[in-house]
Amino acid sequence: MRPLLFAANWKMHIGPEDARAYFKTFRTRYQRHEGREAWFFPPALSVETAAQAVRERADMLVGVQDIYWEPKGAFTGAISAPLAVQAGARAALVGHSERRHVFGETDEDTRRKVAAALAADLAPVLCVGEKLAERDAGHTLAVVNRQLAGALGGLDAATLARITIAYEPVWAIGTGRNATPNDAAAVHKEIRAWLVARGAARTRILYGGSVNLKNAADLLAEHELDGVLVGGASLDPEAWAQLVQTAAA
């Protein structure tokens, strides 16, 4: 059994001071569940605070939302994988749709970022997903396959096993319109087939896009889903603790 993964993407919310208060609440509201992990992706400025807050919990870890692929140098404003590790990060989101579509990140960029994360021993969480027009044109699987090949093509099975995939249809992110469990499972099956063809049957595949307390249990009832990546519904520590606690009970 792959442990169920509940990943919180705080995006550009919750600074260090608020992160301290967040974990005070979350840690008391959420007790450890066997076979369940909670990962947190705060803004880079809050990573160290968050990592300290979870350091005694083997079921919780903290990651960064983005890294630059160079390990160091004159790259004003950028954060490298080794710097993130020094702050306590153990994972990194790569290719989130906001990075791709707001900041213009390419498949080639995601490939370099995955490699940089692996080199620093950060667990990459590669986000893939189609835009609405791409779905309407019937191109969902072509887009997802292109993103997988672009970021992960050429990696061997042992390396793919260190990676997590998050399927996040762009039209479902922050819109309140989640994919149905069936929609999600259909794409997860394709992603699974892509991984299995490369010997990586154990790689976890998360679903993301408007997951909340109301729909999480139905989505997680689909065995194709190994967890969820959640933005808006992870910002309130009580509601997020309740979601991690009760979904997939």
Binding segment for ligand PGA (CB under 6 A), chosen from 141-149, 213-221, 224-232, 237-245, is 224-232
Separation of alpha carbons 56 and 215, rounded Å: 30
DSSP SS3 for 27: helix
Q: Six-digit token pair at 159?
A: 């390396």
Half-sphere exposure of 110 (CA within 13 A, CB side): 29
Site for ligand PGA (CB under 6 A): which residue of 30, 80, 210, 226?
A: 210
Q: Please confirm, yes or no, whether 223 is among the known catalytic residues.
A: no
Site for ligand PGA (CB under 6 A): which residue of 92, 229, 241, 243?
A: 229
Nearest CB to ligand PGA, comparing residues 50 and 173: 173
Nearest to ligand PGA by Cβ — which residue? 231
**For residue 237, which amino acid is it?**
P
Does position 115 interact with ligand PGA (CB under 6 A)? The reply is: no
Least distance in angstroms from the C-beta of 154 to ligand PGA: 26
Q: Six-digit token pair at 194?
A: 């892509």
Does position 227 interact with ligand PGA (CB under 6 A)? The reply is: no
Decide: 184 and 225 in contact? Cβ < 8 Å: yes
Separation of alpha carbons 151 and 158, rounded Å: 16
DSSP SS3 for 68: strand
Separation of alpha carbons 34 and 4, rounded Å: 9
Does position 173 interact with ligand PGA (CB under 6 A)? The reply is: yes
Binding segment for ligand PGA (CB under 6 A), chosen from 15-23, 46-54, 108-116, 208-216, is 208-216
Separation of alpha carbons 100 and 109, rounded Å: 9
- Our measurement of the distance from residue 176's CA atom to the centroid of its chain's CA atoms, rounded to an integer in Å, reads 18
Site for ligand PGA (CB under 6 A): which residue of 55, 174, 201, 202?
A: 174
User: Which x/- pattern over 132-171 shows residues binding ligand PGA (rule: CB under 6 A)?
Assistant: ------------------------------------x---
Q: Six-digit token pair at 165?
A: 């995939």
Least distance in angstroms from the C-beta of 210 to ligand PGA: 4
Q: By rule CB under 6 A, what count of residues binds ligand PGA? A: 13
Q: Please confirm, yes or no, whether 105 is among the known catalytic residues.
A: no
Nearest CB to ligand PGA, comparing residues 52 and 215: 215
Site for ligand PGA (CB under 6 A): which residue of 184, 191, 211, 219?
A: 211
Decide: 178 and 167 in contact? Cβ < 8 Å: no
Does position 208 interact with ligand PGA (CB under 6 A)? The reply is: yes
Does position 9 interact with ligand PGA (CB under 6 A)? The reply is: yes
Determine the straight-line distance between the first and last CA of the chain, rounded to whole angstroms: 15
Residue 3 gets which letter from DSSP?
A: P
**Which residues lie near ligand PGA (CB under 6 A)?**
9, 168, 173-174, 208-211, 229-233
Q: Which residues are catalytic?
A: 96, 168
